[in-house]
Structure 1
Amino acid sequence: MQKFLFFLITLFFSGLLFAVHSDYCVNCERDKHGRIKRSLEGKKAFKKMQPCPSTGKPFGACPGYIIDHVIPLKRGGIDAPSNMQWQTVEESKEKDKWE
Protein backbone atom coordinates (compact mmCIF):
# COMPACT_ATOMS: atom_id res chain seq x y z
CA MET A 1 0.00 0.00 0.00
CA GLN A 2 2.83 2.41 0.85
CA LYS A 3 4.53 1.72 -2.48
CA PHE A 4 1.27 2.44 -4.29
CA LEU A 5 0.80 5.78 -2.46
CA PHE A 6 4.42 6.69 -3.15
CA PHE A 7 3.85 5.89 -6.83
CA LEU A 8 0.71 8.08 -6.97
CA ILE A 9 2.44 10.99 -5.23
CA THR A 10 5.46 10.71 -7.53
CA LEU A 11 3.21 10.55 -10.57
CA PHE A 12 1.27 13.62 -9.40
CA PHE A 13 4.39 15.75 -8.82
CA SER A 14 6.06 14.66 -12.04
CA GLY A 15 2.89 15.78 -13.85
CA LEU A 16 3.15 19.19 -12.21
CA LEU A 17 6.78 19.53 -13.22
CA PHE A 18 5.92 18.58 -16.79
CA ALA A 19 3.15 21.17 -16.85
CA VAL A 20 5.57 23.88 -15.75
CA HIS A 21 8.01 23.00 -18.54
CA SER A 22 5.50 22.01 -21.22
CA ASP A 23 6.79 24.71 -23.58
CA TYR A 24 10.33 23.29 -23.45
CA CYS A 25 11.24 21.64 -26.72
CA VAL A 26 12.62 18.20 -25.94
CA ASN A 27 13.09 17.16 -29.60
CA CYS A 28 15.00 20.25 -30.75
CA GLU A 29 18.66 20.01 -31.62
CA ARG A 30 20.72 21.97 -29.10
CA ASP A 31 24.09 23.74 -29.09
CA LYS A 32 26.84 23.16 -26.52
CA HIS A 33 25.16 25.66 -24.14
CA GLY A 34 21.80 23.85 -24.25
CA ARG A 35 20.12 26.49 -26.42
CA ILE A 36 18.05 25.53 -29.43
CA LYS A 37 20.45 25.33 -32.38
CA ARG A 38 19.93 27.97 -35.06
CA SER A 39 20.10 27.33 -38.79
CA LEU A 40 22.63 29.56 -40.56
CA GLU A 41 21.20 28.45 -43.91
CA GLY A 42 17.69 29.50 -42.85
CA LYS A 43 18.95 32.92 -41.81
CA LYS A 44 20.80 33.38 -45.13
CA ALA A 45 17.72 32.34 -47.09
CA PHE A 46 15.57 34.81 -45.12
CA LYS A 47 18.01 37.67 -45.82
CA LYS A 48 17.99 36.78 -49.52
CA MET A 49 14.17 36.86 -49.64
CA GLN A 50 13.80 39.87 -47.32
CA PRO A 51 16.81 42.24 -47.55
CA CYS A 52 17.69 44.43 -44.57
CA PRO A 53 15.20 47.31 -44.14
CA SER A 54 17.93 49.83 -43.31
CA THR A 55 20.56 48.94 -45.94
CA GLY A 56 18.54 47.12 -48.60
CA LYS A 57 21.24 44.44 -48.81
CA PRO A 58 20.67 40.68 -48.51
CA PHE A 59 23.95 40.21 -46.61
CA GLY A 60 26.01 41.75 -43.82
CA ALA A 61 24.93 43.67 -40.75
CA CYS A 62 21.52 45.31 -40.52
CA PRO A 63 21.84 48.34 -38.20
CA GLY A 64 18.85 48.83 -35.91
CA TYR A 65 17.19 45.51 -36.81
CA ILE A 66 17.36 41.88 -35.78
CA ILE A 67 15.89 38.72 -37.24
CA ASP A 68 13.03 37.57 -35.03
CA HIS A 69 11.10 34.30 -34.99
CA VAL A 70 7.37 35.00 -35.26
CA ILE A 71 6.66 31.82 -33.27
CA PRO A 72 9.57 31.46 -30.84
CA LEU A 73 11.73 28.37 -31.17
CA LYS A 74 11.08 27.43 -27.55
CA ARG A 75 7.34 27.50 -28.27
CA GLY A 76 7.62 25.10 -31.19
CA GLY A 77 8.39 27.56 -33.98
CA ILE A 78 10.60 26.40 -36.81
CA ASP A 79 13.96 27.90 -37.68
CA ALA A 80 13.02 28.61 -41.29
CA PRO A 81 12.51 31.79 -43.35
CA SER A 82 8.73 31.34 -43.20
CA ASN A 83 8.89 31.90 -39.43
CA MET A 84 11.28 34.88 -39.52
CA GLN A 85 10.73 38.63 -39.67
CA TRP A 86 12.76 41.81 -39.35
CA GLN A 87 12.19 43.54 -36.05
CA THR A 88 13.63 46.76 -34.68
CA VAL A 89 15.84 46.46 -31.62
CA GLU A 90 13.25 48.44 -29.60
CA GLU A 91 10.40 46.12 -30.67
CA SER A 92 12.57 43.14 -29.81
CA LYS A 93 13.16 44.40 -26.28
CA GLU A 94 9.41 44.90 -25.79
CA LYS A 95 8.61 41.45 -27.16
CA ASP A 96 11.25 39.85 -24.92
CA LYS A 97 9.49 41.24 -21.84
CA TRP A 98 6.37 39.15 -22.42
CA GLU A 99 7.77 36.27 -24.43
Structure 2
Amino acid sequence: MKKLTVIIIVLAILNPHSHAEAAQKRSAKAKYQFRKEHICPGPAGTRYGKCEGYVIDHIVPLCAGGADNPANMQWQTVTEAKAKDRLERKQCAALRKARNGH
Protein backbone atom coordinates (compact mmCIF):
# COMPACT_ATOMS: atom_id res chain seq x y z
CA MET A 1 0.00 0.00 0.00
CA LYS A 2 2.89 2.41 0.65
CA LYS A 3 4.03 2.03 -2.95
CA LEU A 4 0.51 2.83 -4.17
CA THR A 5 0.39 5.89 -1.92
CA VAL A 6 3.65 7.21 -3.34
CA ILE A 7 2.49 6.61 -6.91
CA ILE A 8 -0.79 8.43 -6.26
CA ILE A 9 0.96 11.42 -4.71
CA VAL A 10 3.54 11.71 -7.49
CA LEU A 11 0.95 11.45 -10.25
CA ALA A 12 -1.33 13.93 -8.55
CA ILE A 13 1.45 16.46 -8.26
CA LEU A 14 2.26 16.05 -11.94
CA ASN A 15 -1.40 16.31 -12.95
CA PRO A 16 -3.18 19.43 -11.65
CA HIS A 17 -6.71 18.27 -12.57
CA SER A 18 -9.25 18.21 -9.76
CA HIS A 19 -11.24 15.18 -8.67
CA ALA A 20 -14.37 16.67 -10.22
CA GLU A 21 -12.63 17.02 -13.58
CA ALA A 22 -11.32 13.47 -13.37
CA ALA A 23 -14.74 12.07 -12.51
CA GLN A 24 -16.17 13.60 -15.68
CA LYS A 25 -13.63 11.77 -17.81
CA ARG A 26 -15.00 8.28 -17.07
CA SER A 27 -15.72 6.52 -20.29
CA ALA A 28 -18.24 3.74 -20.82
CA LYS A 29 -16.33 2.95 -24.01
CA ALA A 30 -13.08 2.41 -22.06
CA LYS A 31 -14.86 0.13 -19.59
CA TYR A 32 -16.44 -1.80 -22.46
CA GLN A 33 -13.04 -2.18 -24.13
CA PHE A 34 -11.52 -3.45 -20.87
CA ARG A 35 -14.30 -6.03 -20.52
CA LYS A 36 -13.79 -7.08 -24.11
CA GLU A 37 -10.07 -7.68 -23.47
CA HIS A 38 -10.29 -9.16 -19.94
CA ILE A 39 -12.63 -12.00 -19.05
CA CYS A 40 -14.39 -11.72 -15.70
CA PRO A 41 -12.38 -13.66 -13.10
CA GLY A 42 -15.58 -14.59 -11.26
CA PRO A 43 -17.54 -17.83 -11.57
CA ALA A 44 -19.38 -16.70 -14.70
CA GLY A 45 -16.14 -16.06 -16.59
CA THR A 46 -17.83 -13.86 -19.17
CA ARG A 47 -16.79 -10.75 -21.06
CA TYR A 48 -20.20 -9.09 -20.76
CA GLY A 49 -22.88 -8.73 -18.12
CA LYS A 50 -22.49 -8.94 -14.37
CA CYS A 51 -19.19 -10.14 -12.93
CA GLU A 52 -20.26 -11.49 -9.56
CA GLY A 53 -17.95 -10.44 -6.72
CA TYR A 54 -15.69 -8.24 -8.88
CA VAL A 55 -15.53 -4.64 -10.03
CA ILE A 56 -13.41 -2.80 -12.55
CA ASP A 57 -10.89 -0.61 -10.76
CA HIS A 58 -8.63 2.18 -11.96
CA ILE A 59 -5.12 1.16 -10.91
CA VAL A 60 -4.02 4.78 -10.59
CA PRO A 61 -7.08 6.73 -9.43
CA LEU A 62 -8.53 9.31 -11.77
CA CYS A 63 -8.18 11.96 -9.06
CA ALA A 64 -4.44 11.33 -9.08
CA GLY A 65 -4.13 11.70 -12.83
CA GLY A 66 -4.74 8.09 -13.78
CA ALA A 67 -6.00 7.55 -17.29
CA ASP A 68 -9.51 6.33 -17.96
CA ASN A 69 -8.43 3.64 -20.38
CA PRO A 70 -8.10 -0.15 -20.27
CA ALA A 71 -4.35 0.02 -19.58
CA ASN A 72 -5.17 1.63 -16.20
CA MET A 73 -7.94 -0.82 -15.29
CA GLN A 74 -7.97 -4.11 -13.45
CA TRP A 75 -10.45 -6.58 -12.03
CA GLN A 76 -10.63 -6.31 -8.27
CA THR A 77 -12.74 -8.14 -5.72
CA VAL A 78 -15.47 -6.05 -4.13
CA THR A 79 -13.73 -6.39 -0.74
CA GLU A 80 -10.37 -5.23 -2.11
CA ALA A 81 -12.05 -2.39 -3.99
CA LYS A 82 -13.79 -1.08 -0.88
CA ALA A 83 -10.51 -1.02 1.06
CA LYS A 84 -8.62 0.64 -1.80
CA ASP A 85 -11.42 3.17 -2.34
CA ARG A 86 -11.33 4.21 1.34
CA LEU A 87 -7.58 4.81 1.11
CA GLU A 88 -7.86 6.65 -2.20
CA ARG A 89 -10.64 8.94 -0.94
CA LYS A 90 -8.38 10.06 1.92
CA GLN A 91 -5.36 10.47 -0.33
CA CYS A 92 -7.25 12.34 -3.02
CA ALA A 93 -8.84 14.66 -0.46
CA ALA A 94 -5.37 15.45 0.89
CA LEU A 95 -4.10 16.07 -2.63
CA ARG A 96 -6.99 18.42 -3.43
CA LYS A 97 -6.32 20.28 -0.21
CA ALA A 98 -2.61 20.57 -1.05
CA ARG A 99 -3.38 21.79 -4.57
CA ASN A 100 -5.67 24.47 -3.18
CA GLY A 101 -2.95 25.66 -0.81
CA HIS A 102 -4.66 24.65 2.44
Task: Bin the TM-score by the shorter chain.
Answer: 0.5 to 0.7
Q: Report runs of 4+ in structure 1 exceeding 2 Å deviation.
A: 34-37
2:17 to 22, 25, 29: 25
Tell me, yes or no, if the aligned pair for 2:23 and 2:62 is still in contact at 8 Å: no
Counterpart secondary structure, 1:56: coil
Look up the match of 1:51.
Answer: 39
Structure 2 length as normaliser, TM-score?
0.63
Please tell me whether residue 42 in structure 1 is matched to residue 34 in structure 2: no
The letter of the residue matching 2:30 is G
Identity %: 46
User: Residues 25, 76 of structure 1: CA spacing in aligned structure 2 closer, same or farther, 3 A cutoff?
Assistant: same
C-alpha deviation, 1:63, in angstroms: 0.8
Larger radius of gyration: 1
Query: Number of residues paired by the alignment?
Result: 75
Higher relative contact order (CA 8 A, sep 6+): 2
User: Residues 93, 29 of structure 1: CA spacing in aligned structure 2 closer, same or farther, 3 A cutoff?
Assistant: closer
Q: Unmatched 5+ residue regions in structure 2?
A: 1-12, 89-102
Higher helix share: 2
CA distance in 2, matches of 1:38, 1:65: 18
Q: Unmatched 5+ residue regions in structure 1?
A: 1-21
CA distance in 2, matches of 1:29, 1:90: 25
C-alpha deviation, 1:70, in angstroms: 0.3
Please tell me whether residue 70 in structure 1 is matched to residue 62 in structure 2: no
Pairwise CA RMSD: 2.5
C-alpha deviation, 1:94, in angstroms: 1.0
Structure 1 length as normaliser, TM-score?
0.65
